Structure 1
Amino acid sequence: MELSAQYLREKLQWDLEAEHVEVEDTTSNHSVSSFRVLVVSSKFEGKPLLQRHWLVVNTCLVEELLHIHAFEQKTLTPEQWACEQQK
């Protein structure tokens, strides 16, 4: 399975009803896939960090992560994202 940043972005937006998604392909060579993502979704409201990450990894990208070597994620609520934008 070949994964692209665009594919992951669209899947995260759709599955998590995200209002903002950034996906960076951090792959340094062609033998392994590596991505860094930022997801902003109201589905994260009231959830601790571990549950947010679980939503991304075990609900949304469970099949895709079988083919990803390294995955870094940042998950924010819309309110947290707005605060970060003001910095």
Structure 2
Amino acid sequence: MPMNAADIEKMILDSLPDAHVEIRDLAGDGDHYAAVVVSEAFRGKSRVQQHQMVYDALKGNMGGVLHALALQTSAPTTDA
């Protein structure tokens, strides 16, 4: 059973409540998504650590129910 975008977004927001999350279904099959996640929690973390935080939020669904997730993560930019 594929995951839908709303479920992925909810799981990420449950773990990273301040996050801005955008999810796109890449293949229309509910199995291949792209996600952009921006969260203050990522500040000072390496890209690998940021991605691990998102994978942790998905509670083991990555690689199973959720086959592929093209992930872009960052901390919010500050306007000067």
- Normalised TM-score (structure 1): 0.76
Unaligned residue ranges in structure 1 (runs of 5+): none
Per the alignment, in what secondary structure is the counterpart of residue 52 of structure 1?
Answer: helix
Query: Which stretch of the first structure deviates more once superposed, 10-19 or 44-53?
Result: 10-19
> Is the aligned partner of 1:45 residue 2:38?
no
| Aligned-pair Cα RMSD in Å | 1.9
Deviation at 1:64, TM superposition (A): 1.7
Q: Deviations over 1:16-44 (max 9, x none)?
A: 1233100011135x4x7111001111110
Aligned residue type for 1:70: A
Aligned residue type for 2:15: D
Higher helix proportion (structure 1 or 2): 1
Instruction: Give the paired residue count.
Output: 78
Q: Aligned residues: percent identity?
A: 27
Aligned residue type for 1:21: V
Partner Cα distance (2:59, 2:51) in 1: 12
Deviation at 1:63, TM superposition (A): 2.2
Unaligned residue ranges in structure 2 (runs of 5+): none
- Normalised TM-score (structure 2): 0.82
